[in-house]
Amino acid sequence: FGVKMTEVKKEELKYMTLKEVYEATKTSTRYVQEEIRRKNLRAFKLGKRLLFSPDEVLKWIKKKAA
């Protein structure tokens, strides 16, 4: 990847869970999952968990607010 693990800071590895996203946006899990399906919100799976980049969530919120 071109990045050494020693260069990665702990806070850069923090991702949001599905629960954190719907609680922060005051929506439902169903709505967030539908937005992923529609490709309006990007997420990735790690095992059984859906994870979200906080930057992607903020972009999504701003887009919805516009």
DSSP code per residue over 26-63: T--HHHHHHHHHTTSS--EEETTEEEE-HHHHHHHHHH
Residue predicted with more confidence, 4 or 36: 36
> Is the full-model pTM beyond 0.85?
no
The predicted model gives 24-30 an average pLDDT of 92
Using CB atoms within 10 Å of the CB of residue 9, give its burial: 0 to 12 exposed, 13 to 18 middle, 19+ buried: exposed
Q: How far apart are CA 31 and CA 38, in angstroms?
A: 10
